[in-house]
A and B are shown apart, each in its own frame.
Chain A
Amino acid sequence: SYVLTQPPSVSVAPGQTARITCGGNNIGSKSVHWYQQKPGQAPVLVVYDDSDRPSGIPERFSGSNSGNTATLTISRVEAGDEADYYCQVWDSSSDWVFGGGTKLTVL
């Protein structure tokens, strides 16, 4: 089965840039989607197809994907960005797969 690996936690000061990685075998050949989940709330799609943003998502959220690593980048981090972030891909043998999630802490 296909496995996505995320760091358990990332910390960043307000105004700085946060980078959350998602590792997988040749993930660069897949489309990666990213979700934000705040405590007690349902997840929200923040980036899809590696680097596209749904309407209403700030431009501060961006994504990239190459080789064995996809990255969600959050620029000019705000306190309100503190949340869990999950990457996701479709794999032909595993169907939908989520990463284990990364807790973003804003210092």
Chain B
Amino acid sequence: EVQLVESGGGLVQPGRSLRLSCTASGFTFGDYAMSWVRQAPGKGLEWVGFIRSKAYGGTTEYAASVKGRFTISRDDSKSIAYLQMNSLKTEDTAVYYCTRGRGATGGPFDYWGQGTLVTVSS
């Protein structure tokens, strides 16, 4: 059974950093791209970024709203994807989901984690 479990969310002050983890099981992690998608309270889905599988160079892409502040990485030996969030803003408050996908574009997102809530507030 495919499982994606996010962790690391919580309350953080503006300007500080937070790292989210996505622990995967039930599939060959290294064969898949991993994306992060967020959802602000009461709002729609917003793609944050993704990291390709090693077969596609392991490169990353980011939404304009987080580029330069957020970094996605992966540890295939541990089946974990990370989202490092720096210089957090109040508008980054959201539930953050990790998802998996295939190929150069990393999609579609066929499995999602349950999400972890990040609250940015002073």
Contact = CB atoms under 8 A, between A and B. Distances in A.
B45 A86 contact: yes
B1 interface: no
Interface in B83-115: 97, 105-110, 112-115
A100 interface: yes
Interface string A39-56: 000111100110000100
Contacts of A100: 44
B35 interface: yes
B44 A98 contact: yes
Interface residues of B, number: 22
Main secondary structure of the interface of B (DSSP, over half): loop
Nearest to B115: A42
Contacts of B62: 95
Contacts, number: 53
A92 to B, nearest CB: 9
B108 A98 contact: no
| A interface SS class | strand
Given A95-B63, A96-B35, A48 B47 contact: no
Contact of B45 (A35, A44, A54, A90): A35
B46 interface: yes
Contacts of A1: 64
Interface of A: 1, 33, 35, 37, 42-45, 48-49, 54, 84, 86, 88, 90, 95-101
8 contacts: A37-B45, A42-B97, A43-B37, A43-B109, A45-B109, A88-B109, A98-B44, A99-B44
Interface of B: 35, 37, 44-47, 50, 61-64, 97, 105-110, 112-115
